[in-house]
Structure 1
Amino acid sequence: MANSPQAKKRARQNERRAAVNKARRSRIRTFLRRVEEAIASGDKDAAATALRAAQPELMRGVNKGIFHKNTAARKMSRLSARVKALG
């Protein structure tokens, strides 16, 4: 348990940051799920639109420190390839 005032403050800040990060991660996963669902339905136009919407969200997650840069790049690459293969 935190004893010093500084440690108590850090614990409070960590709690707040964890909540913000959790919300951001959840939002990004929702965008990715929409792309997955569009791919599963076989609708190329919907999948491409969902992918375009997901890309900036994923990159924002990288900038905010939610995902590693290479992880986001890998996800985008794989999703793009799957959308392209629908045609």
Structure 2
Amino acid sequence: MANTPQSKKRARQIETRTEVNKARRSRIRTYLRKVEEAIASGDKEKAAAALRAAQPELMRGVTKGVFHKNTASRKVSRLAARVKALG
């Protein structure tokens, strides 16, 4: 348990950051799910549009420290390849 004032404050800050990061991660996963659903439906234009919307969200997650840069790049790359294969 936190004893010093500084460690108590850090514990409060961590709680806040955790909530914010959880919301960000959830938002990004929603965008990724929309791309997955579009790919599953076989609609290339819809999938491409969903990917264009998801890509900046993923990269924003990188700048905010929710995801690692390579992880986001890998996800974008794999989704883009799958969308391209629809044609």
TM-score after normalising by structure 2: 0.99
Q: Which residue of 1 aligns with 2:37?
A: 37
Q: Which residue of 2 aligns with 1:84?
A: 84
Q: Which residue of 2 aligns with 1:61?
A: 61
State the distance in 1 between where 2:4 and 2:38 align: 51
Question: Are 1:8 and 2:8 matched, yes or no?
Answer: yes
Counterpart of 2:18, as a letter, is A
List alignment gaps of at least 5 residues for structure 1: none
Q: Which residue of 2 aligns with 1:47?
A: 47
RMSD: 0.3
Per-residue CA shift, 1:5-35, capped at 9, x if unaligned? 1110000000000000000000000000000
Percent identical pairs in the alignment equals 82
State the distance in 1 between where 2:84 and 2:36 align: 13
Q: Which residue of 2 aligns with 1:23?
A: 23
Q: How many residue pairs end up in the alignment?
A: 87
State the distance in 2 between where 1:86 and 1:10 align: 48
Q: Which residue of 1 aligns with 2:72?
A: 72
List alignment gaps of at least 5 residues for structure 2: none
